[in-house]
Amino acid sequence: MRFFPVLAMVAAIPMLAIAAPASADGTVTRATGCGDKIYAAGVNGFAVLAASGPGMVADGDELKGDFEKIGHVVLFDRTSGRSVSAVVEERGLDKPQIERRIATNCRSLVANTFVSGKVERTEGCGNKIFVDTPKGIAVLERIAGGVVSTGDILTGNFNRPGRATVQVRQTSGTMTVFVEDFQLSRSAAQRKMDASCRR
């Protein structure tokens, strides 16, 4: 009679193993240029996670943990050897679905590189600065910082739309700009100059 509780506990152990959540380890498909978003491939498709901060994991990192359910998870990054706190926003996605989300939410890897260009025109254009780069002409709008002139060389991450910081080579100063457009052809840039600048 007194062995009954022990037998009941032994019988319950397989039931607990069945009820425990299965581990769903995976690999980071993309995190670079995606802010706090992590796109990972698991055993049941792809998942979208929001990390507690950007730069927590890198592309190709191996994650150990269960991201097969929506909600908060703590994963172990085997590559870096640290824990990552995240929220699983979507799961069970196929390759075309995850590729669309990456294309929408992540910056192009090319856009993460710095470029240099020569100021084509700024005088008479208000806050607009037209910069000739090897990939085409960028249209920047000055938010804060120094003064630039036609012929100055600018360096910065203006291969993508949005806010950027650029360095003015001639003065060694920095300037905050908004990248309105980039990689424009000369004719497209000329139309923008005609619309934005005084003659």
pLDDT digits (tens, 9 = 90+) for 4-21: 444 444 444 444 333 333
Q: Which residue has the tokens 């380890």?
A: 25
The more confidently predicted of residues 61 and 8 is: 61
The more confidently predicted of residues 91 and 171 is: 91
Question: Where do the domains of the chain lie?
Answer: 20-106, 111-196
| pLDDT at site 89 | 93
Supply the CATH classification number for the domain 111-196: 2.40.50
**Residue 129 near residue 182, CB atoms below 8 Å:** no
| pLDDT at site 158 | 81
**Residue 42 near residue 86, CB atoms below 8 Å:** no
CATH 2.40.50 fits 20-106, yes or no: yes
Is pLDDT above 50 for 3?
no
Q: With bands split at pLDDT 50, 70 and 90, how would you rate the model's confidence at 108?
A: low
| pLDDT at site 112 | 52
The more confidently predicted of residues 162 and 60 is: 60
Strand partners, 25: none
Of 195, 133, 194, 187, residue with least CA distance to 160:
133
| pLDDT at site 131 | 95
Is pLDDT above 50 for 78?
yes
| pLDDT at site 18 | 39
87-91, 121-125, 181-185 — which is least confidently predicted? 181-185
Alpha-carbon gap, residue 27 to 61, rounded angstroms = 6
Encoded tokens for 63: 């994650």
What is the pTM (predicted TM-score) of this model?
0.47
| pLDDT at site 66 | 84
Q: Do 111-196 and 20-106 have the same topology in CATH?
A: yes
Percentage, residues of the chain above pLDDT 70: 84
Q: With bands split at pLDDT 50, 70 and 90, how would you rate the model's confidence at 129?
A: very high
| pLDDT at site 53 | 72
| pLDDT at site 8 | 45
The DSSP secondary-structure symbol of 160 reads: S
CA dihedral 164→170→172→177, nearest 10 degrees, is -20
The more confidently predicted of residues 4 and 88 is: 88
Cβ count within 10 A of residue 100: 11
pLDDT digits (tens, 9 = 90+) for 18-31: 333 345 688 999 98
